[in-house]
Amino acid sequence: MYNNIVLVADIFEHTEENINFNSTTLEKPSQEYIDDVVRALTIYSKQIFVCNSPKELNNYLVKNSVDFVMTIYGGEISRNRLALVPAICESMNVKFLGADVYNRIICQDKNLCKTFAKRFNILSPNSILIYDENDISLIKSLKLPLVVKPNYEGSSIGISNKNIVNTFVKAITLIKELLEIFKQPIIVEEFIGGQEVNITLVGDNKNINIFEVIEDIHIEDINFFNNNLYTLEYKQLYCEKFSHKVITDKFDVETKNYIIDMYRHMGKIDYLRVDGKILNNKFYLIELTPDPYCGRESSFSKAIMSNGYTYEESIGLLIQNCSKYYQTQYSNEIIHTL
């Protein structure tokens, strides 16, 4: 039993009125999500303190001793927002769950994370990164249909039903619109049909406790993802139309080994969700998510729970892996000083 765990969470209630193409708040957790996590954490710690921002966390750490910091902080606009909590913790020598600053920066950049994964033989859709309108002509090297989206966003921010386009004219119009709205590079990639999947990994750099592949399925149309994206509308407003299915035993073993190899080379990570598509038995990476939604009904939690864990135990497993990482680090520091 720990004495004090801090949870960083900037609560925001999403409604049909504030969920739209221009929304920048989609990574912020709801009260229900926060409550799920807090209830689970109370099993492992005498006290849970919830901070609303990195600034509040910093002020709290100056005055209080804590065992761990867990973050589900979403923030908005800044491309560095998801790296702020681990940066504060590392600068103050405080233990934290999940990915370090380096990994969060890599994963926040969709183009960079695909480049990183390529080093480990992981496929991804052909793509072009557009910095400004002078680069737009480069998209002609890609095959239609195309997916156009902001490069530094997560949680489907800036991605709606209109982000899959079938002509270069529509792609160019959308690129200009996104450049204006989000003020950041735009990634344009070839659309991949097939199965929509996310892969949950939990473990340290030596031992993988969890590797599960979950397929997202439209309950009324099994071919839905052959022609559609998993957009903000579906995730936030129509989630009841989708179900999750464990398909790990059907996943390509060689690709599984590539993904595990990548994970083991990421250093401080603890857990990760790998999002992608499967077409003709080939996996294509879409993005890496080091801060997956881990509410009770999430595919991430269900992947862990499919291994016999309760929801509360799944949160405990994340804490356990974090603790194991720091124990290893401490052992290495002892060895280096001998």
Q: At 62, which CATH number?
A: 3.40.50
All residues at 6 or more sequence positions from 197 whose CB lies less than 8 Å from its CB, including other chains: 213, 214, 215, 216, 247, 275, 276, 277, 278, 283
The residues pairing with 144 across neighbouring beta strands, listed in sequence order, are none
Residues 258 and 319 in one domain: yes
Q: What is the distance, to the nearest Å, from the Cα of residue 161 to the centroid of all Cα atoms in its chain?
A: 20
Instruction: Please indicate, yes or no, if residue 80 is contained in any of the structural domains.
Output: yes
Structure tokens at 99: 């990915």
In the chain, the amino acid numbered 175 is I
Instruction: Please indicate, yes or no, if residue 113 is contained in any of the structural domains.
Output: no
Q: How many domains does the chain have?
A: 3
Pairing assessment for the beta strands 195-203 and 208-218 based on DSSP bridges: antiparallel
Kindly tell me the number of DSSP H helices and DSSP E strands found in the chain.
10, 12
- Residue 101 · residue 95 · CB < 8 Å: no
Instruction: Please indicate, yes or no, if residue 334 is contained in any of the structural domains.
Output: no
Residues 217 and 317 in one domain: yes
* pLDDT by 10s per residue, the chain, length 338: 999 999 999 988 877 777 776 677 778 888 999 999 999 999 999 999 999 999 999 999 999 999 999 999 998 888 999 999 999 999 999 999 999 999 999 999 999 999 999 999 999 999 999 999 999 999 999 999 999 999 998 877 878 888 999 999 999 999 999 999 999 999 999 999 999 999 999 998 888 999 999 999 999 998 999 998 887 677 777 778 888 999 999 999 999 999 999 999 999 999 999 999 999 999 999 999 999 999 998 999 999 999 999 999 999 999 998 888 887 664 444 433 33
> pTM for the complete prediction?
0.92
Instruction: Say how far apart CA 310 and CA 240 lie, in whole Å.
Output: 22
For residue 247, the tally of other CB atoms under 10 A from its CB is 15
Instruction: Please indicate, yes or no, if residue 130 is contained in any of the structural domains.
Output: yes
CATH number at residue 297: 3.30.470.20
Domain extent at residue 27:
2-96
Residue with tokens 């993005």: 287
Residues 210 and 302 in one domain: yes
Residues 198 and 292 in one domain: yes
For residue 265, the tally of other CB atoms under 10 A from its CB is 12
CATH number at residue 176: 3.30.1490.20
